Amino acid sequence: MKLENIEKAFQLFDQTAIIIEQECHCTYLEALAETAENIFHDAILQDELSEMTKKRLNKQYDAVVLNQFDESTIRKAFQLAILKGMKQNTQPNHQMTPDTIGLFISYLVRKCIGNKKDFRLLDPTIGTGNLVLTIMQQFPDKEVHAIGCEVDDLLVKLTYSGANLLQLPIELYNGDCIKPLLVDPVDIVVSDLPIGYYSDDERASGFEVHAEGEHTYAHHLIIEQSVKHLKEAGYGIFIVPNNIFESAQATLLQQFLKKDTYIQGLIALPSSLFKSESAAKSILLVQKKQRDIKPPKSALLVQLPNLSNAQAMQSILKQMDEWFMREKNN
């Protein structure tokens, strides 16, 4: 994957999105989703564009053939274009899970899946899809049935467009993941959890983590909803605030997790990935209970080093490999 190829692919997305944005009077991200669909279908789908604009777009599309690049190059370039659009858009729910975290979670997914030839994967807060698409690209040897839910229709469209460009099959639902999900049980749930309060107290009241007299944390509700959609012995992998077990509502979450899951580990992400120490996050790994499943002899408690420190990272991964091996033989 060469940087110049990422730049070429990015320029194709960026320049054609700008052309559509200017003529259709839409946002850059909306235009980006439109140009991605044009590239995928090898046709200009926007009937409202003038003939002159269509010619300009076709000239750009003909100049760079996207399928000359590998899938990782395409995903990176599309990711960069999305990040550009996000800088112009201040909506707090427009966020993206960094590649470094996505690749590490892919490592955890492989450890949890073991020798299975296929598995079902759910992200109830899929956002732009970068986390799930990153994971899917790491499993060319397995059949992955991926499912995503997202309340923001623009983000759903971007995920759909990105998956099409990468030719990765994914089942998408546009809606609130706290509401009933018509999804069969899955082997793995991953989620970069949105942090904050959930305003629909009536709906939240049906959850075990529901807080009396105040709004319930949305991330607590999503964890409970996710566990409900796991198969027995399935795994939940959640990106959570470092203080998730120290908040005012932490006891409710702990009680639910103790009843329905075994907490396998808590992996602190490098603080260098975050703007401030208070914004730092960890990865919470849980396994849904099953009659013949035992709790871990010891939880996996790890502080990841700076991911650019290859030697320190290799040492940590070796420790984690040994932990997974011990627990598999438990």
Taking only the tens place, the pLDDT of each residue in 97-120 is 888 899 999 999 999 999 999 999
Residue range 193-201: mean pLDDT, rounded = 94
Q: Are 108 and 191 in contact (CB under 8 A)?
A: no
CA dist 253 and 72 (Å) reads: 37
CA dist 99 and 107 (Å) reads: 12
Taking only the tens place, the pLDDT of each residue in 253-309 is 999 999 999 999 999 999 888 887 878 899 999 999 998 888 999 999 999 998 888
Which pLDDT band holds residue 15 (cuts at 50, 70, 90)? very high
CA dist 254 and 168 (Å) reads: 36
The candidate with the shortest Cα–Cα distance to 134, out of 83, 76, 95, is 76
% of the chain at pLDDT higher than 90: 85
Distance linking the first and last C-alpha atoms of the chain: 40
Asked whether the predicted pLDDT for residue 91 surpasses 80, the reply is no
Burial pattern 80-97, b for ≥16 Cβ within 10 A else e, equals bbbebbbeeeeeeebebb
Which domains does the chain possess?
3-87 (1.10.150.470), 99-328 (3.40.50.150)
Taking only the tens place, the pLDDT of each residue in 225-249 is 999 999 999 999 999 999 999 999 9
Which pLDDT band holds residue 167 (cuts at 50, 70, 90)? very high
pLDDT at 95: 67
pLDDT at 273: 85
C-beta atoms surrounding 145 within 10 Å: 15
pLDDT at 185: 97
